[in-house]
Structure 1
Amino acid sequence: MDKVNRQRISKLHPSIREEIVKIISECNANLKGRAQVRIAQGLRTIEEQNNLYAIGRTKPGRKVTNAKGGQSIHNHGLAVDIVLIIDGKTASWDTARDWDNDGVADWYECVKIFAKYGWDWGGSWKTFKDLPHFEKKGYTWRKLSTMRKDKNNYVIL
């Protein structure tokens, strides 16, 4: 596990940290070296979420999210966006590439592993597909926003 992943995992909800380490480790083992999983985004502040929401609305660019601040599972540390790092240096969001030549696109190898651990993939959403996004099943932002929080501001699950 590289330093960047460790730092980003340390900010996720405590209840999923060990699991996400297992998931990423399993993805990387299945990808056989050339491509490795990096968490591009984990916990996101309300301000960061609002800034993303503004893109394509009040800021230039194409819309990247339909979730305002507080309406994303990222705001509760229960979601990650991933990217594949190729040969230790190049970021790739190519969902079709089979870097390890095993007949299965590397991205979809990871999708299957996340699903095995009970995570929803944004690429399976009916509208506004979010291919890099994975979130822990069983939580909605509405439910999470009503739950009590601990001293570190994480919802008590």
Structure 2
Amino acid sequence: MDKPTTERIKKLHPLVREEVITIIKECDESLTGRAKVRITQGLRTFKEQDSLYAQGRTKPGKKVTNAKSGQSIHNYGLAVDICLIIDGKVASWDTAKDWDNDQIADWYECVKLFAKHGWEWGGNWKTFKDLPHFERRFIYINGREVNSTWRNLAKLPKDKEGYVVFTG
């Protein structure tokens, strides 16, 4: 796991940090060739979200999100975006390439591992496909499943570090 990934994991919601470490390790072990996973985005501030939302609207560039501040799971530290780092140098978002020649696209090896741990992939969305995006849509508190949609998260109290507090 590279340093940028490790640093981004440290900023995720405390409830998912260890799980994300496990997923990234499993991805890197599965990818036996030249590719390794890097988290390119984890926790995103409301200010950063507003800036991304403005892109393609009031700022130049292509639209990259339909979520305003508070409407992205990134704003709560429960989402990550990834890329593959090839040979430790070059970032790739190629979802078809099979760098380890095992007849399964490396990207989809990672998609399967995130899904195994209960993470939703943005590539499965019907309208705005977000291939680099994975989010934890359900959190388990005291054996109870809590839906972590942004609408639910926005209503929750925050702790002294700014993370939403799940109760159960």
Q: Deviations over 1:116-138 (max 9, x none)?
A: 00000000000010000000022
Counterpart of 1:141 in structure 2 is 150
- What RMSD over aligned residues (CA atoms) do the two structures have, in Å? 0.7
For residue 5 of structure 1, report the CA deviation from its aligned partner.
Answer: 1.1
Counterpart of 1:34 in structure 2 is 34
Richer in helix (by share): 1
Counterpart of 2:141 in structure 1 is none
- CA–CA distance in structure 2, aligned partners of residues 130 and 2 of structure 1: 23
Question: Equivalent residue of 1:95, what SS?
Answer: coil
In the TM superposition, 1:1-150 aligns within 5 A as 1-138=1-138, 139-150=148-159
Question: Equivalent residue of 1:75, what SS?
Answer: helix
- CA–CA distance in structure 2, aligned partners of residues 150 and 62 of structure 1: 35
For residue 33 of structure 1, report the CA deviation from its aligned partner.
Answer: 4.0
Gaps of 5+ in 2: 139-147
- CA–CA distance in structure 2, aligned partners of residues 15 and 53 of structure 1: 27
Give the ranges of 4+ consecutive aligned residues of structure 1 lying more than 4 Å apart after TM superposition: none
- CA–CA distance in structure 1, aligned partners of residues 153 and 137 of structure 2: 12
- CA–CA distance in structure 2, aligned partners of residues 93 and 6 of structure 1: 20
- CA–CA distance in structure 2, aligned partners of residues 142 and 18 of structure 1: 25
- CA–CA distance in structure 1, aligned partners of residues 36 and 137 of structure 2: 24
Identity %: 70
Contact 2:82 2:133 (C-alpha < 8 Å) held by counterparts: yes
Contact 2:30 2:109 (C-alpha < 8 Å) held by counterparts: yes
- 2:150 is matched by which residue type in structure 1? W
Question: Equivalent residue of 1:108, what SS?
Answer: helix
- CA–CA distance in structure 2, aligned partners of residues 155 and 46 of structure 1: 14
For residue 94 of structure 1, report the CA deviation from its aligned partner.
Answer: 0.3
Contact 2:33 2:101 (C-alpha < 8 Å) held by counterparts: no
- CA–CA distance in structure 2, aligned partners of residues 78 and 33 of structure 1: 29
- CA–CA distance in structure 2, aligned partners of residues 9 and 28 of structure 1: 15
Q: Deviations over 1:59-99 (max 9, x none)?
A: 11111000001110000000000000000000000000000
TM-score (norm 2): 0.92
TM-score (norm 1): 0.98
- 2:158 is matched by which residue type in structure 1? K
- CA–CA distance in structure 1, aligned partners of residues 65 and 3 of structure 2: 27
For residue 51 of structure 1, report the CA deviation from its aligned partner.
Answer: 0.5
- CA–CA distance in structure 1, aligned partners of residues 34 and 18 of structure 2: 24
